[in-house]
Structure 1
Amino acid sequence: MYDGRLQGGVMMDRKTTLDLIIKGGAVVLKDEVRRLDIAVRDGRIVQLGEALEGAAAQTVDAEGLTVMAGMVDSHVHLNEPGLGDWEGFDTGSAALAAGGCTTLIDMPLNGIPPTVSVSALQRKLEAAEGRVHIDYALWGGLVPGKLGELEGLAAAGVTGFKAFLSSPGDPSEEAFREVDDHTLLEGMRIIARLGRVLALHAESEPLVSALARQAREAGRTSAPDYAATRPVLAELEAVSRALFYAEQTGCAVHFVHISSAAAIRLIREARSRGLDVTGETCPHYLTLTADDMERCGAVAKCAPPLRDATEQEALWTLLAEGAIDLIASDHSPCPSELKERTDFFDVWGGIAGAQSSLELLVGEGHVRRGLPLPLLSRLLSLAPAERFGLHPRKGEIRVGADADLALLDLGSTYRLEPEHLLQRHRISPYLGRTMHCRIVSVYSRGRLVYDTASGLTARGGGARLGHR
């Protein structure tokens, strides 16, 4: 005789053994936080309810902990293939897992070759095989001379395409290049037809290159000098130009690492006019300022640069209002020696922060500022999953979704030290910072991949996710 009950929309037989029950945690749902148990079988959430009954291979006591959907980090640079001592899928995905991330989307540049052709995509997939510890997807690239590759890359399952409106900074012939206006326009037309998203690094190359040249010729090469050559105006010009092309082509556009409130407002206004456009900011713009860049030095160099405290507070205000669409780390690591330059313009630009994103946003946003956890979970998980074709499987704690879960202790503080980091090069502008919450354990499809006691607990089990 069938003896079951309906909980969370799924009828369960009490005699059926579950793989995992996580009991008694404060579970962050789409619109609320509730004390619930989570039942998992075959990597999926099959029940949500209070005091769930039934046999389980493993039961985890989450009393006193907060359970969030694992972060979907849609903007990371893991620098494979071909870059030797750079980050790599192994160490990069380990750091992400330790930071509560259960899905990553890797950017197409900083690999040799960059992912701008089907053959280059295949090489990246070979580099990733068996070495990614959480689930992953891949971006393709839009660069001059490769428009003919876009359709093949889309058919091969890339999430979307990334383009730069300013120079990516590597002058070598095989490196990723910024788009010219013709490539941008034609690329947008093709990407719109393919039903993909174009992600854009938005800074005006004519403006920032001219200002940089003037500064260096005058011997102004400090961190503040560098920041002055990449003003908010350069971001606004590039965003405005790209929105114009998007309006002409119908291309869905996503602006990465937006650093200014004015640019967020431009994006929001364009969306109100019916454009399919979103924008992200990053933890470093919300938790670090230009003063930190001057104090920390090269580890805090990024493009666009860190802004002042007034700009940072304006971003927090917009985030609380729901005007920012999502948060991504823009984890952009490099070998330590590339951060050892006296001329700030020669320093490799990129912040290595993959392991700290969720703790920073929850600690600063919820613990210290009182922002609701469902809002932060949407920014970190649900919104990127929805935007980039990974929902309903990813991004939300719901029946039927993958059991991608991060368990946090909101009452625990700690000082971030190099030994905590799992990335290959243990440099970060957050070292020495007090973190106002702590990841306790992380599950990817119901599989424990990290806990604070043991570190990384499962290797190489990440699955590649194609576009839906």
Structure 2
Amino acid sequence: MPAQIADVLVMGGLLVSGDNVTRADVLISDGGVLEVGPDLSGRDARRVIDAAGRYILPGGIDSHAHPVYGDKIDTFSICAAYGGVTTIVAFIGSETHRHERFGNTWGLRKYNPDIVKGFIEYAEQDSYTDFAVHGLVTMRDQDDLDQVIPDLVRMGVISYKVFMTWNPWVLDSATNDLAVPDEMVMRVMELAAHNGGLPMVHAENGCCKAYLETRHRSQGMTSIQHYLDSAPNILESEAVNRAAVMAQLTGSPLYPVHLSAREVVPVLERYTELGLPIFGETCPHYLTLTNDDLLEKGYRLKVAPPLRQSEDQDAMWQGLATGVLNTIGSDFTGYTRALKLTGSLEGEFVEPEPGHENIFEVAAGLSTLEHMMPVVWTHGVNTGRITMQRFVQVFSENPAKIFGIWPQKGALQPGSDADLIIWDPAKRHVVGQEHGISDLSTFEGMELLGMPVMTMVRGEVVVDDGRLVGKQGTAQYVRGDPNATAYAPGGPNVS
């Protein structure tokens, strides 16, 4: 009987996993990894890809994605593919005011799981990459929360975010429905503990943040020089500690998102020692930018939590290197200048001089996804802050294990989806215009060394040497399995 002819053979590269770097070829068929070995040159394949002199990495997983603003899932996933990300984990839920503002017709349904279902149907047609979903729980879910969480888990949505900030005490905020009181946070955690779910928290003390913002406004302290003071480190570390106490009491795991403050690291260490399954996420901007960059470049770098100081940046790198922090997510919103300044993609504006804008009237959001992995490679791997193996752990293996999609995603082993990137460590790039709709880039002008030159999703090339060659309509929704998570009994270990 003749040997099976595979679809693709990737040859000659160095395969990087979370454990080691080895010379290996990857044989692909029917969208999956068929075989991995040191020399598969004797295997027949319809297409052979030469990866000599380059690294072969599992595709990146963006654990913190918001494809609901300016960049929808189509352009959002294009940015992802150009940056080596093959799976997007999108926050989707009952943030009705945002769905109305940005024309997300699938998001105008009343019941949270119905909104998620609408997004899945839409994204399967429009995305260029595969995707999973984090739920997003707001005050609109308070009356049927006991049904929302179990229904989401049955749909494969096993993680869900709540906001401990954006307190409605702030003036006439349009985000009033996002703020969730502690008693509802605990109820979400209790339901998670009973259904195999993972609560995620935006951890800033909402009451204190609202107080400080209101005080700053009343005193006319509204320029960028005052933004960091309005959201000090202690608000983040206090909220993480408070969420961890709730998680311990309810028997729930915990995933604090976009961590930025150095005081958070010992909090994570303490609760890990106490046996709490707690997973920390940071973002590329907290690893490479500081408040000084905000002061220099102005409103375009406003984000929440804010860019902090170099000591905080160092603590984030140290947390990644030691395993206290487990993942890096983009928190990409695809904001344009008009959107940040006026709240509308079509809004007319005059570009303010740094220091002359009202920073509290500027939307918080950055354009980070397309260059997230090269930025971390340049400032992390190339500088020795983290190893290549750690790079793969935080971008691929750990998010897959935490969110119950391992080893389908996040690995290159027989049976895994053939999501891979070919990485050229010698390729240089200066960040400029990106492939989304945004007219600004968070990392504009940054010089990078090390870039993906090919991105493949389930054996199909999506980006090849700077050209988009993938097609829409082939994306697949990836269901999370609560029994296969890092916090499940007997689940995979996360470093």
Taking structure 2 as the reference length, the TM-score comes to 0.87
Choose which of 67, 74, 77 in structure 2 pairs with 1:90: 74
**Using the alignment, how far apart are the partners of 1:193 and 1:225 within structure 2?**
43
Q: Which range moved further: 221-230 or 108-117?
A: 108-117
Q: How many equivalent residue pairs? A: 449
- In structure 1, what is the equivalent of residue 255 of structure 2? 254
CA contact (8 A) 1:140 1:161 kept: yes
CA displacement at 1:173 relative to structure 2: 6.7
Report the 3-state secondary structure (helix = DSSP H, G, I; strand = E; otherwise coil) of the residue aligned with 1:206.
helix
Separation of aligned partners in 1, 2:331 and 2:117: 23
RMSD value, Cα: 2.0
SS in 2 for 1:130: helix
Q: Which residue of 1 aligns with 2:459?
A: 446
- Residues 152 and 457 of structure 1, relative CA distance in 2, 3 Å threshold: closer
Instruction: Report 1:53-452 matches (<5 A).
Output: 53-79=42-68, 86-108=70-92, 109=95, 110-112=98-100, 113=107, 117-144=112-139, 145=142, 146-148=144-146, 149-167=148-166, 176-340=177-341, 342-369=357-384, 371-418=386-433, 421-452=434-465
Deviates further, 247-256 or 423-432: 423-432
Gapped regions of structure 2 (runs ≥ 5): 101-106, 342-351, 482-495
1:114 is displaced (CA, Å) by 7.6
Counterpart of 1:233, as a letter, is I
1:38 matched to which residue of 2? 26
Corresponding position: 1:460 with 2:473: yes
Matched residues in 1 for 2:298 and 2:469: separation?
Answer: 30
Query: Distance in 1 between the 2:48 and 2:273 partners?
Result: 47
Out of 36, 42, 47, which is 2:35 matched to? 47
- C-alpha deviations, 1:185-212, integer Å up to 9, x for none? 2121111111110010000011111111
Q: In structure 2, what is the Cα distance between the partners aligned to 1:174 and 1:337?
A: 19
Tell me the amino acid that sits aligned with residue 66 of structure 1: Y
Identity %: 29
Aligned to 2:490: none
Give the Cα–Cα distance (whole angstroms) in 1 for the partners of residues 419 and 287 of structure 2: 25
Task: Give the CA deviation at 1:20.
Answer: 0.4
The answer to whether the 8 Å contact 2:17/2:393 transfers is no
- Asked if the contact 1:258/1:264 (under 8 Å) is kept, the reply is no
Shift of 1:123: 2.5
Partner of 2:161, secondary structure, is: strand
CA shift digits 1:67-113 (9 cap, x unpaired): 1111111110001xxx6xx2111000110111100111101244344
Q: Distance in 2 between matches of 1:371 and 1:237?
A: 28
Q: Is the 8 A contact 2:165 2:202 kept in 1?
A: yes
Supply the distance in 1 between the matched residues of 2:340 and 2:445 (Cα, whole angstroms): 18
| AA at the equivalent of 1:215 | H
SS in 2 for 1:19: strand
- Asked if structure 1 preserves the Cα contact closer than 8 Å seen for 2:234 and 2:263, the reply is no
CA distance in 2, matches of 1:16, 1:56: 9
Shift of 1:438: 1.5
Structure 1's 176 and 126: CA in aligned 2 closer, same or farther, altered over 3 A?
farther
Q: How far has the Cα of 1:129 moved from its partner? A: 3.3
| Aligned-partner SS, 1:261 | coil
1:378, CA displacement in angstroms? Answer: 0.2
Shift of 1:126: 3.4
Partners of 1:126 and 1:114 in 2: how far apart? 14
Shift, 1:168, TM fit: 7.8
The Cα of 1:176 is off from its aligned counterpart by 4.7
AA of the residue aligned to 1:64: G
1:448/1:458 contact within 8 Å kept: no
Question: What secondary structure sits across from 1:60 in the alignment?
Answer: strand
What letter corresponds to residue 57 of structure 1 in structure 2?
R
Unaligned runs of 5+ in 1: 2-13
**Cα 1:248/1:114, change in 2 over 3 Å:** farther
Q: Hey, what's the Cα distance between the residues in 1 that align with 2:475 and 2:362?
A: 33
